[in-house]
Amino acid sequence: MKKGTQRAMHCRCGNPKILAVGLCATCYTLKRQDEEYFGGLREAVLKRDGHRCRVCGKPGGRKRSLAVHHRIAGKSELDLMITLCLAHHAMVTRTLVLLEDWPKLLRVLWREQHPEAHEQTALDFRVLGPAAEQSELLEPPRSIVWNYKR
């Protein structure tokens, strides 16, 4: 390097704004979370799965576009973690209804996450009893006068 020139420092992702340990804010946060929540195995899981969702095969373009899902909550072992796109991770962790048209792997992951849940595969609109009687709460108050002016 020539005297008087300065070498540019960038994060390994290409971001020129370095926060700490030679990493940008996003990479630093991911590294810290990797060690805290994934036992340092997040990158290994992503690499093993080819940086693609194991359900749909969608590639991860940005740093946070893929989630690493723990098949057993809190247990950070390489064989018990799987890469999912954010949509499929939300379906597994936040959906309370299992749908028949989901891919098989997604249904397996959902059942692991919700062992006591009822698997509702269709909506039932049959009336199971007599209709409720109208009560005072459902009747409009007599004191209201409806005046509409045009």
The per-residue pLDDT for range 81-102, each reduced to its tens digit, is 999 999 999 999 988 877 778 8
Q: What residues have CB less than 8 Å from 86, skipping those under 6 apart?
A: 65, 66, 67
pTM above 0.85, yes or no: no
Computed over every residue of the chain, the mean pLDDT equals 79
Among 29, 1, 4, which Cα is nearest to 15's?
Answer: 29
Instruction: Assess whether pLDDT exceeds 60 at residue 115.
Output: yes
* Cα gap 127→130, rounded to integer Å: 8
Confidence of residue 105 (pLDDT cuts 50, 70, 90): very high
CA angle 96, 54, 101 (to 5 degrees): 45
